[in-house]
Amino acid sequence: MNKFLALVAIIGFGAITASAQQSASTSAQCTTVVVRSLSIEANQDLDFGFQAQGVGEVTISSESNKAVRFTITGEEWMDVRISYEAPEALLNQKGSKLPFKALVTANDADMPAGAKELATGDVRTLSEKGNQFVYLGGTIDVAKDQDRGFYTGQFDINVEYTF
C-alpha cells in the first residue's frame, strides 16, 4: 500500500507542477515616418572671370549675384547637417596654385543678405517650405608672378538629415 500512496503522490505532484505552468505573450507595434527625400541643386558655378597678374585679392561676396546659390529641399522643419569641402587653391593645367578662400553662408529664406556664416558640419532647420539656401562666394589672390592659364577647383557639398 505504501507503494501505491507513493505512486499517487508522484502522479499528484506532477499534476500540480503541470497545472502551475503558464504561458506569456506580448506584442510590439512597428512604425516609421517617411519624409521627403533630400535634394540639393546649384544655380551656377562660381566664376571670377578674367583677372590680370598682380591684381591681388578678388572677392565675390556670398551676397553677390555672382555667388553660387545651393537650394536644399526636404521635409519641413527637419534638421539637416550641411558639410562641405572647399579647395585651398584653384589649379591650372600645369598644376600652378591660385590661393582660394571660400565664403559660405546659409539662410532658410532665399535672401543672401540675411544669411549667417556656415561652417562645415553645421546643423540647420529646413523652413516651413522645406528649404535651406547655402551661398558660396570666395576670395582669390592673384600674385604678380601668377602663371597664366585657366584655373579650376571643386567645391563639394553634402546634406543629410540628423535623425
Per-residue pLDDT reduced to its tens digit, 77-93: 999 999 999 999 999 99
Q: What's the confidence (pLDDT) of residue 155?
A: 98
CATH, domain range 39-161: 2.60.40.1090
Question: Residue 19 pLDDT more than 90?
Answer: no
For the chain, how far is it from start to end, CA to CA, in angstroms? 74
Percent of the chain whose pLDDT exceeds 90 = 87
Q: What's the confidence (pLDDT) of residue 8?
A: 52
C-alpha closest to that of 137 among 90, 162, 104, 99: 104
Domains of the chain by residue range:
39-161
Average pLDDT rounded to a whole number, residues 43-52: 98
pTM equals 0.82
